[in-house]
Amino acid sequence: MPNPASNHRDLALDDIPADPPIRFAEQALLGAIILEPLRIKTLGPLGPEHFSLAMHGALFAAMSALTPPAPEIHTREPVWITALLDHARPHARGLTASYLHTLTDACPNPSHAPAYAQMILANRARLTIRSAAERLVQSASDPGLPNPAAHVLDRADAVTALLDDLAGLFPSHPGSLPRTVLPPPPTRDTETGTDAAGEEQLLLSTAAARPACLPEMRWLRPEDFTVPLHGVLYRCMASLAYRGDPVDAVTVLWEAQHHGLLASGTTAREVLDMLATPAGSPEHWGEQILQRALLHHAHTTGLHIHAFTDDPANTLHQLITGSRRALADLGAVRARWQHATRPAAARQPRPQPAPASRAGPPAPRPATPAGSSRASR
């Protein structure tokens, strides 16, 4: 009956979550080794740390540390079970002899032990990818990092290296991409704070006053801006610069009219006022905007990978493939960030070697003795 002294209702039997499939795979594997101890030599890189339950890990550690008995002794005497209990109980207080019998009953076929081991390894790999994705999300949303872009890219490299290692352990197979419904991207306002809109406006006004920088700032895209209005104005400036037209507040306003900006409720005076207060350098403000876009994409990538790991319908191969696709989207923004932040000397195009001159008379061909070709026959 409900407890009147508590605001929480008592848990019913239906409220207890069912054991996940990995629990039965672990029981089947341990039962296979109890029934046929020599099966432990066929399990590959499986270790105690790969099990979801501490008691299962302690029991597998005992199995790995002990020498399996000879088959003829194992069939006559319970020396294997006794040795396992004595070795594992100090690390798993709840382990009993009856639970070992439960494990043997849970094993359909001891010869399938390698398949059970692959299931356990795949589950641990899924949890490892999830932890790496969580660290990526945390670093991308931490405003207190001294160098957030470098830290986030290190986290992304760690996820990439993890996926490469797992792809080598688990052979790929043909299959579809993950069908997981991905969460929406995080709101830019909650990520960037209150300085984003002001810095974007400073970029626009400074670039309008000093437009010579625009051809060199192709690494910045309109979609990098947190305010869509600012992105449209930057696209107007970039279009004017690309065509070689003059760039100032008035020409940008005229171009914005052609982009339909004034029809959306923004007035001409608001655009002119937005472009009237230049300060600093456009490159500096552009890097700030691009860094925020990089962190936003990293945050979104981490959330997508985490969603893949939470979907039990995804095989490990689908999980690795989907995660690599998500990281590839981040890699496009990363390439632009690296281009924007590398030293100015490295941005200069390498001088091409001058083509060889064709002026002057052709070089004389060496004389061939007459009839030499015929004489050689």
Which pLDDT score, from 0 to 100, does residue 52 have? 94
The mean per-residue pLDDT over the stretch 280-307 comes to 95
d(CA 197, CA 200): 5
Distance between CA atoms of 294 and 150, rounded to whole angstroms?
Answer: 10
Domains in the chain, start-ordered, CATH in brackets?
Answer: 18-108 (1.10.860.10), 122-180+294-342 (no CATH), 189-292 (1.10.860.10)
Phi-psi region of 3 (alpha: psi -120 to 50; beta: other; left: phi over 0): beta
pLDDT tens track for 195-224:
889 999 999 999 999 999 999 999 999 999
What are the tens digits of pLDDT across the range 221-264? 999 999 999 999 999 999 999 999 999 999 999 999 998 888 88
Radius of gyration for the alpha carbons in the chain, expressed in angstroms and rounded: 33
CB-CB contact of 61 with 88 (8 Å): yes
Which range is least confidently modeled, 79-83, 107-111, 253-257, 264-268? 264-268
The reply to whether the predicted model has a pTM over 0.85 is no
Q: Measured between alpha carbons, how far is 170 from 124 in angstroms, rounded to an integer?
A: 12
Q: Measured between alpha carbons, how far is 343 from 347 in angstroms, rounded to an integer?
A: 7
